[in-house]
Structure 1
Amino acid sequence: MAKSDETGGNREITIFHNPNCSTSRKALQMIRDAGAEPKVVEYLKTGWTRPQLEGLLARMGKRPRDILRVRGTPAEELGLTRPDASDDEILDAMTQHPVLVERPIVASAKGVALGRPVEAIQPLL
């Protein structure tokens, strides 16, 4: 997969999607309702690479803690909710446990956004 595909840096829309998440399903439908057929990446199956996460975070202007999912994940057990947990520590855990990344993340030529709330992806369409 090309780097531009991994971070959504090309013309297509990419959604990093969890089909079991109602917010993620709403975001996917919003993209389709806007007339686009996105590349759907089921990140719980494919996993994350560190460069992929770093690229998405850079384009969002966010830090790993900003996209850390705590609810229903091992984040607390792994010590990632500690105030002194480092970006490196959180990124390493995210590559080992894909569920630690909040969803959905949508990437397009217009930018990258975490779809929480789902309306946050509207400027990308």
Structure 2
Amino acid sequence: MSVVIYHNPRCSKSRQTLELLRSNGVAPEIREYLKSPPSVSEIEEVLGLLSIEPVDLMRRKEAPFKELGLGDGSKDRASLIQAMHDNPILIERPIVIANGKAAIGRPPEDVLKIL
């Protein structure tokens, strides 16, 4: 089984999710998305797997969210996705992809349902 985690090692929930995966015998591919941002098409794929809209994958308290006016409803889907690609700090974390499904690890135990 191939498992990928979009991981931020500075985030406690991301670290907890990674540890939870490992304690369940899963050795995921770790993608430090702040160092290597996902492409626009990868973000689209994650959104599809999660069945959510772009704004629902965004961290609304991050400075770029406010600075770019991403919460005012004026931006189209493509603009929101591009903003996440250009400013990966906006992407909610951690995201785990496995078995053709995705889950956000908030709380970390939410990722177990897709394994």
Question: Shorter-chain-normalised TM-score: which range?
Answer: over 0.9
Shift of 1:110: 5.1
Q: Is 2:86 aligned against 1:74? A: no
How large is the Cα RMSD of the aligned pairs?
Answer: 1.2
Given candidates 11, 26, 34, the residue that maps to 1:36 is 26
Structure 2: segments with no counterpart, 5+ residues: none
Structure 1: segments with no counterpart, 5+ residues: 1-10
The percent of aligned pairs where both chains have the same amino acid is: 36
- In the TM superposition, what are the counterparts of 1:77-116 in structure 2 within 5 Å? 77-109=67-99, 111-116=101-106
1:113 aligned counterpart, secondary structure: strand
CA distance in 2, matches of 1:95, 1:77: 16
Change (3 A) 1:36 1:50: same
The amino acid of 1:107's aligned partner reads I
Correspondence for 1:47: 37
1:62 aligned counterpart, secondary structure: coil
CA distance in 2, matches of 1:60, 1:72: 21
Shift of 1:66: 0.9
Correspondence for 1:8: none
Count of matched residue positions in the alignment of Structure 1 and Structure 2: 115
Q: Once superposed, which parts of structure 1, at least 4 consecutive aligned residues long, lie more than 3 Å away? A: none
Correspondence for 1:62: 52
Q: Is 2:7 aligned against 1:12? A: no
CA distance in 2, matches of 1:53, 1:72: 18
